[in-house]
Chains A and B, each alone.
Chain A
Amino acid sequence: MTDSDPRPDPLPVATGPYPPTCESLETPVSEETQRAQAERLRRAWATPRGWRYPTAVNNTEVGKWYSTTALIFMLMAGVMALLIRAQLAVPENDLISADRFNQLFTMHGSAMMFLFAVPMFEAISILILPGMLGARDMPFPRLSAFGYWCFLIGGIFVIGSLAFDSAPRAGWFMYPPLATQDPGPGSDIWLLGLSFIEIASIAAAVELIVGTLKCRPPGMRVNLMPLYAWYVLVVGGMILFAFPPLIAGDFLFELERSFDWPFFDPTRGGDPMLWQHLFWIFGHPEVYIIFLPSVAIAAMVIPTVARRPIVGYSWIVLSAVGTGFLSFGLWVHHMFTTGLPSISLGFFSAASEAVVIPTGIQLFAFLATLMAGRVRLNLPMLWIAGALAIFIMGGLTGVMLALAPFDFQAHDTYFVVAHLHYTLFGGMVFPVMAGVYYFFPFIRKRMLSEVLGRWAFWLIFIGFNLTFLPMHLTGLRGMPRRVYTYPDDLGWSTLNLVSSAGSVVIAAGFAVFVWDLFRPKGGQPRIARNPWQAGTLEWTHDVPEQAWGVRSIPHVTTRYPLWDQPEMVARMDQGRYYLPDAQEGRRETLITSVIDAEPIQVQRVTGPTWITHLAAAFTGGAFILPTFSLYTPAIISGALAVCTIIWWLWTATARPPAPEDTRKDVGLGLNLPTYASGPASTGWWAMWITMLGDATAFASVIFGVFFYWTARPDFPPEGALHADAVLVALSCGALLLSWALTLFARRSNRRGAVTGARICLGTGAVLGSLGIAAMLGAVTALEPTTHVYPAILCALAVWIIVHAGLGTIMQLYCLAGSIFGKLTPRYDADLWNISLFWHFHALSVAVAGAVMILVPGVA
């Protein structure tokens, strides 16, 4: 390579020996060096103190806040349940008004689902996953912090509405027309507040998936990953395919609520069934999104208590993946009584029964491990045993309900309430409690009380069965869900009283647990490291606590490294493995390849900041202000959110390293680059994963078009105005050209033709704006309030316009990056990432354009 050659040098690549040899690991490190290294690491990873504490972004802090907040929301939802049970304890009760009762059961379900179950999975994973993977932190610490602050703001907003007597009250699944026509802001609070939280959930899912794929320790190939990491991958993937249909549904629903576009109004061609489909395409997988991570906790606890490797590792992995897939084929079993053709019901009934097989395999693998091992019935195991018992009961009633004729009878009765609480308590609450007892020494370096733990277990276990076992009978005797009160002579009175008494016992159990969790533990002796003698990496944690994650990142060659690689912990402590030092005083973690976890990059991760709070507050404003029809402030808030996020990305992500800093010696002779772009980088994977979710949401809107087309004879209505085909074609042409220019810009930039790349990006942005204008022009003549046909065309146009706007901003961002030296021919991660966005956008432009132009012809 000569100086006159315009092409940039190739990016530095990894050099040096890999994997480490025994001799290299035995090379002694002097105690003085060890101390100095540890001191530098400690300084780089120090948690901010005092009033700066909330700026922390480290996974240990964010994870603690996240899980504590989710726990508090859960306790609030529990109090709502107690009020519901108090109202139903005796017949003809008038403790609370019917309207208040509706708000309570709606918020109980919504809060338990959206503010507890899913966030709790993500909180626990943020907290413990880096430990399991021997990573210092997740790849995007600020993203998890941003997700947490969004969750906190959204959660307080949604739950706070109860205090103002304006909470949603149409049931947690918000069926139209009840919910669409409900006066007051309740339904909007549900839609906007929870959409906001779903976005935080997707952010966390992206973080967790990329963390699992790219931040594993060297040597941890896919066949060695801890089972928990496998479940995180499966569940993260499910979130990406399950949440977007609901977001698409919320999008249509809110357009109906705010602007009277009649998507679910049958008098103007809409159909409430579309909401049910979109809701349950989310809602059923959601159950497994909650269940699988909890099973994952069991999969970590069981080998430890059985003191042997898990039986049937591949079987469990594949059952988790299989459950993830099959759970998407079940949504209609929530809609058995909506009058669908019986063959259709048959498909969903069959798929509902089929999902039992992979679920059963996981449970049997656990039982086999327990039988093959030497079990110590410690506290975590007690909770797991309770979970298995309760979940199996819930599974049996699930098999009953999956049979359509039985479901016709039990539909919307307390039988269903009993079934769902059995699956959720057995499948989620009990395993999570096991996880709290099991992981508490890892998180807080203290033990929870054995005595209080047993009290909590038995109170909750007995209270639970006392509450929900009678509900099967109450339901079979015909008591419908969601009734506010009932007369005395129907044979429900005693059963309800027993249930209400049981709920108080559960509450007592939780009170014991919460006291145990938060009581001062300063006087307790410090725990030993690895108190359960477990075999996985998180138990190499330092006692007392260090914020650096691991002292040095080990080379892993087995599934249970602490059992099978006995010399590992000492070597980690002495800093003999990778990245034992922070010479530059920066936070770093090792990025490895997806399949074999070979080290490929040192990633500088971001540190404490206030920017995430600002971004979350403005994003929150964009979602919360429209609830009160404050559209102008909402738009301003949204624009400020975009500016804040651009500033955040500009200052903190993919900055080209200084010339002397392009590679780094990570120890054991291995030398790694500090920058990566394209598929080698974490940012590219995050974009790819986010776009999968985005594409799913778009597909759901397209599904809406075809749904109306099959379900409604008047779609499109006779003589309807169509989108202007010429302008649609023009818009698509401009946007597709803009996509091509983006790709061209990336290639020219790589070749060193910087000016050409800048021209492409600038022209691309102009074409993007033209595409937006043409799309606007194509639908301006339509009147979306008159019928669902113009409404869905306009919704498609809104979708394309918003994404084209984002794409244009991205092109301008890269253009600015190229001009101000953030993006160079050699350091071009931003261009790779926006190309990926444009690939997906080009696809949706083509599909949307085809639908808008072709539907009038074929219908």
Chain B
Amino acid sequence: MTEEHQPRPDEEEAEFAEESASLWRITLAPVAWAAHFVICYGLVAMSCAKGWPITEVRQGLGLFSAAVLLLIAWIGWRALRQWDVRRTGDFVNRRGRAEDRHHFLGHAAFLLAVISFIGVVFVSLPLILIEGCQ
């Protein structure tokens, strides 16, 4: 059973305000992956089409990838804290309480950060392994 309370006048806004941090966390990691992907693809495509120095571009993108990975790792760490599984021991958050919803959103953000991290590593590999435009 959920906690007893009176309905709030602006329920929708109130809920979004309460969880705004975790909603950001959920979207941020995949968005970081997508932005990283688009920037890598776009910059390399332009460099190859316009004859910009590809080695420098690769090095720059390598640094950029490292920064994105750090960002995702940080998001993941915050999300792990929000999931709070080590303290509660509750892996599934299957109950209908506000606390379960909050932990679930943390778990969600954490797993998405993991997937996004792996995605960014994968996309960065060609930058290291393939040398030129060919």
Q: Given that A325-B34, A341-B45 are known contacts, is A219 also in contact with B112, CB under 8 Å in the complex? A: no
Q: Which A residues touch B56, using CB under 8 A?
A: none
B48 A221 Cβ-Cβ under 8 A: no
B119 A326 Cβ-Cβ under 8 A: yes
A362 CB → nearest B CB, Å: 12
B11 A600 Cβ-Cβ under 8 A: yes
| Cβ of A344 under 8 Å from chain B | yes
A325 B33 Cβ-Cβ under 8 A: yes
A329 B123 Cβ-Cβ under 8 A: yes
Please report the C-alpha to C-alpha distance between residue A559 and residue B112 in the assembled complex, in whole angstroms. Answer: 22
- 282-339 of chain A: CB within 8 A of chain B: 309, 313-315, 317-319, 321-322, 325-326, 328-329
Q: Which B residues touch A322, using CB under 8 A?
A: 30, 111-112, 115-116
A318 B4 Cβ-Cβ under 8 A: no
B119 CB → nearest A CB, Å: 5
| Cβ of B96 under 8 Å from chain A | yes
B134 CB → nearest A CB, Å: 5
Q: Given that A18-B6, A222-B101 are known contacts, is A344 also in contact with B33, CB under 8 Å in the complex? A: no
| Cβ of A710 under 8 Å from chain B | yes
B117 CB → nearest A CB, Å: 11
Q: Which residue of B lies closest to A354 (CB)?
A: B122
The number of residues on chain B lying at the interface, defined by a beta carbon within 8 Å of a beta carbon of chain A, is 56
A329 B34 Cβ-Cβ under 8 A: yes
A343 B30 Cβ-Cβ under 8 A: no
A556 B96 Cβ-Cβ under 8 A: yes
Q: Which B residues touch A600, using CB under 8 A?
A: 7, 11-12
Please report the C-alpha to C-alpha distance between residue A342 and residue B129 in the assembled complex, in whole angstroms. Answer: 11
The answer, among A14, A222, A557, for a CB contact under 8 Å with B104, is A222
Q: Which B residues touch A558, using CB under 8 A?
A: 94-96
| Cβ of A665 under 8 Å from chain B | no
Q: Which of B4, B6, B41 has the most CB of A within 10 A?
A: B41
Please report the C-alpha to C-alpha distance between residue A686 and residue B133 in the assembled complex, in whole angstroms. Answer: 44
A19 B2 Cβ-Cβ under 8 A: yes
Q: Which A residues touch B130, using CB under 8 A?
A: 342-343, 346
The answer, among A222, A345, A594, for a CB contact under 8 Å with B12, is A594
Q: Given that A321-B30, A680-B12 are known contacts, is A351 also in contact with B37, CB under 8 Å in the complex? A: yes
B132 CB → nearest A CB, Å: 8
Please report the C-alpha to C-alpha distance between residue A505 and residue B7 in the assembled complex, in whole angstroms. Answer: 60
Q: Given that A309-B94, A341-B44, A346-B129 are known contacts, is A598 also in contact with B4, CB under 8 Å in the complex? A: no
B54 CB → nearest A CB, Å: 8
| Cβ of A350 under 8 Å from chain B | yes
The number of residues on chain A lying at the interface, defined by a beta carbon within 8 Å of a beta carbon of chain B, is 59
The answer, among B4, B12, B133, for a CB contact under 8 Å with A341, is B133
| Cβ of B89 under 8 Å from chain A | no
- 96-134 of chain B: CB within 8 A of chain A: 96, 98, 100-101, 104-105, 107-108, 111-112, 115-116, 118-119, 122-123, 125-127, 129-130, 132-134
Please report the C-alpha to C-alpha distance between residue A221 and residue B16 in the assembled complex, in whole angstroms. Answer: 13
Q: Given that A341-B45, A343-B44, A596-B98 are known contacts, is A14 also in contact with B11, CB under 8 Å in the complex? A: yes
B96 CB → nearest A CB, Å: 4
B69 CB → nearest A CB, Å: 14
B100 A314 Cβ-Cβ under 8 A: no
Q: Which A residues touch B13, using CB under 8 A?
A: 679
B114 CB → nearest A CB, Å: 9
| Cβ of A371 under 8 Å from chain B | no
Q: Which B residues touch A358, using CB under 8 A?
A: 115
A711 B49 Cβ-Cβ under 8 A: yes
Chain A 786-828: CB-based contact to B (< 8 A → 1; otherwise 0): 0000000000000000000000000000000000000000000
Q: Given that A223-B94, A224-B94, A350-B126 are known contacts, is A317 also in contact with B34, CB under 8 Å in the complex? A: no
Give 22 pairs: A residue, B residue, CB < 8 Å, sorted on A. A16-B7, A21-B4, A224-B96, A314-B111, A318-B107, A325-B33, A325-B119, A326-B33, A328-B34, A341-B48, A342-B133, A343-B58, A346-B126, A347-B44, A350-B125, A351-B122, A358-B115, A557-B96, A670-B7, A680-B11, A710-B45, A710-B46
Sample of 11 more A-B contacts, CB < 8 Å, known A329-B34, A346-B129: A14-B7, A14-B11, A18-B6, A221-B96, A317-B108, A325-B33, A342-B133, A343-B127, A344-B48, A593-B12, A599-B7
Contacts from A to B (Cβ < 8 Å)? 13-19, 21-22, 219-224, 309, 313-315, 317-319, 321-322, 325-326, 328-329, 340-347, 349-351, 353-354, 357-358, 556-559, 593-596, 598-600, 670, 679-680, 710-711
Q: Across chains A and B, which 5 residue pairs bring their CB atoms closest together, nearest first?
A: A346-B126, A223-B104, A557-B96, A14-B7, A318-B111
